[in-house]
Amino acid sequence: MARKNLIVGNWKMNSNHLEAIQMLQKLHYRLDPNDYDRVDVGVAPPFTSLRSVQTVIEADHMSIQLAAQNTHFEEKGAFTGEVAPSMLAKLSVHFVIVGHSERRQIFGETDDWVNRKAKAVFAHGMTPIVCVGETLEEREAGSAFDRVGSQIRLSLTGLSAEQIGSAVVAYEPIWAIGTGRTADPADAQEMIEFIRAQLSQQWGGTADDTRILYGGSVNPGNIGAIMAKKDIDGGLVGGASLDPDTFASVVRYWI
Ligand code: PGA
């Protein structure tokens, strides 16, 4: 099965619900209906904007797919400040980012938590975008492949082959996130090829269907070279997704 490209804007902790609606509408107007034949496009606003963005997407029949930036893995209960996967599913959320390096580093999320989150996302009919990536120290020490290999194993353990085929993985080297320092496309391809090999070793041929994205200072100037690599199926875009003009140029990477 041919993998369809996917570019998701991760708005992080930016935009209130009114700003989010404006960003969504501007993006929609800057994209051509034919663009969606080549690439699936998603946006991940903060939780407080999900309902507003969902309403506009549905009312205007937009092809942009809704993503959440995080979820808890429990169904409900005494977890102050958390959001359950069923709540996201009810908002027609399509993708849920799990294990973003900011969650892992700032909020102490472990591979075990990321794994439980990925399973909970699937259990509610949504698709996880599972993030992995090494630190600068790990890259310089030559242990990047060990680190990412272990994140892949531990974060995805217990998923079925079918789930692996429909999951999205984002390779985001931590040293490239928000730093303006992009991984060399050849290095990104090498790691993403490694990830795909790990997946097929464990889950078989279905790993050919898994979409694997690159993330880390993606912008209109580097997206073309990144997308030209054979194992890279798209991008998870932070800073460059906040301006609709810039993000539209990233989405239309072939122009
Ligand atoms: P960046 O963020 O594009 O601002 O580097 C990417 C991400 O954190 O997903």
238 alpha carbon – ligand 1 mean position (Å) = 4
174 lines ligand 1 (CB under 6 A): no
Structural domains of the chain sorted by starting position, each given as residue range(s) with its CATH number in brackets: 5-251 (3.20.20.70)
Angstrom CA distances, 170 to 29, 84, 124, 233, stand at 27, 22, 21, 10
pLDDT in tens, 17-42: 999 999 999 999 999 999 999 999 99
Largest CA distance in the chain: 51
State mean pLDDT over 130-134: 97
pLDDT confidence of residue 197: 97
The reported pLDDT for the residue numbered 180 is 83
pLDDT in tens, 42-96: 999 999 999 999 999 999 999 999 999 999 999 999 999 999 999 999 999 999 9
**What's the whole-model pTM score?**
0.97
The active-site residue, picked from 100, 102, 124, 138, is 100
3-state secondary structure 76-119: CCCCCCCCCHHHHHHCCCCEEEECCHHHHHHCCCCHHHHHHHHH
Residue-level pLDDT at 1: 61
- pLDDT, one tens digit per residue, over 223-251 is 999 999 999 999 999 999 999 999 999 99
pLDDT tens across 86-131, in order? 999 999 999 999 999 999 999 999 999 999 999 999 999 999 999 9
Q: Is 137 a catalytic residue?
A: no
How does pLDDT run across 172-207, given as a tens digit for each residue? 999 998 888 888 999 999 999 999 999 999 999 999
Mean pLDDT of the chain: 97
- What percentage of the chain has pLDDT greater than the value 70? 100
